[in-house]
A and B are shown apart, each in its own frame.
Chain A
Amino acid sequence: MRRQFALFALMGRGGALTKIHELIREMKVSRVMTPNVLTLTPGASMKELKELLREHRISGAPVVEDDELVGVVSIEDLIHALENIDLDSPIREYMTCEDLITAHAQEPVMEALRRFETFNVGRMPVLDARGKLVGIITRGDITMALLRALQDLYSEAESMQDRPQQFFEALESDNTSLQLRYSVEQGNFSDGGEASASVKRALLRIGASPKLARRVAIATYEAEMNLIIHTTHGGFILADIQPSEITVVAQDSGPGIPDVELARQPGYSTATPEVREMGFGAGMGLVNVDRCTDDMSLWSAIGVGTRLQMVFKVSPEEIGNETDD
């Protein structure tokens, strides 16, 4: 089966992807960072750093003097001081103060993420446009923010699943239907069943009961396999879905069936041994179709082609979430 309506597929799927893209590119650092950051002064002792880290379960803090960022001190610096048994020294002695890697409140998190990767730092102080410290950001903050945003997207997508039915109800016409078209290649056994599986999924999505979806899928599957097995150039399947009736047509351009009545007999088959080896050609296809449909018509002419039309009436109990038999 070849996907014929790539445009529709894009309409359905593109939304979420674009949104994720947007999120990463447009989410600002200021939305993700921790504001009201805890700071230390360069004159404070390493012991004070130890207490701050322990009390707040953090792994580092910016160092600020006269409202200006002068350095960053982390648990690693604390370890150095511990190794030197030097906890009384001022933070000034151990902090990083040169080439400070910082983030800017108004830049996209994507940029911050790149800097994390390039410089391999654990945290970055966040500065506003005037260079004043306004917060701190870690890789974890970015991950959490993205996950939260993804979850929001996901719940949005979930609530959209209820929409197809409403979509149909909202359309005004004397007769609204959904048409699905599939082309089926002759001899392509490996994709055989894809069209029927797609019809089935579509039916379930728009609120058909599992029983109805199965009966349509089975009949369509038989018709699809017939196109693969018996035609000269394949054919197409057209499913027309209406609220009260579903019509599936399988049509090909040859070779045509010499004796339609005979073809409908249980057990009658013209399938080759190769096809039989693949589990088909039991001569039950059309019998199966008949069993699943409410009305079936088979028209064929040698050299012209074959048209199998299957009609499924939608009974009230076949709509909605009725449980299976």
Chain B
Amino acid sequence: MNLKEVIEATEAEMLVEPAFTVDLEAACASDLMSDVLVFTKPNMLLVTGLTNPQAIRTADMAEAPAVLFVRGKYPPPETLALAEEMGIAVMLSPYTMFESAGLLFEAGLKGIGKLPILRQSR
């Protein structure tokens, strides 16, 4: 899925253009950055409501070429500046995380599938 399709599906706004053409293979939605790092897969879209620069850092570590911020939460300038510097695309959707994810899934973007269940021993 390309970014134009993401924007159409979630009625998003492009805040930072990507440095390269982006072809997304999957998406993951989370506000917990460590969780994102568990999911990591190349060419993944990061859907998050966490708008601080760590979202961009995490996308960089996970090699996610694009980030979709949700629930209309406009990111602070330092987040946009970091994204610009790292060539990571940033988009903003007015929908909640749940609805943005649903719309993207409906439009054909898949997740990363099942993960092993980790049990806490106490």
Contacts and interface: CB of A to CB of B under 8 A. Distances in A.
A104 B48 CA distance: 63
A285 B78 contact: no
A193 B86 CA distance: 13
Contacts of B120: 265-268
How big is chain B's contact interface, by range? 20 to 34
Contact of B53 (A190, A222, A267, A282): A190
A279 B31 contact: yes
A262 B120 CA distance: 9
A190 B120 CA distance: 31
Contact of B55 (A279, A291, A324): A279
Contacts of A197: 57, 60-61
Contacts of B40: 214, 218
A192 B38 contact: no
Interface residues of A, number: 30
A217 interface: yes
A190 B78 contact: yes
B33 A200 contact: no
Contacts, number: 79
Contacts of A280: 32-34, 54
A226 B100 CA distance: 31
A287 interface: yes
Nearest to A324: B42
A190 B63 CA distance: 19
A278 B54 contact: yes
B61 A278 contact: no
B61 A291 contact: no
A191 to B, nearest CB: 9
Interface in B37-59: 37-38, 40, 42, 48, 50, 52-55, 57-58
Interface of A: 189-190, 192-193, 196-197, 200, 210, 214, 217-218, 221-222, 262, 265-268, 278-280, 282-285, 287-288, 291, 324-325
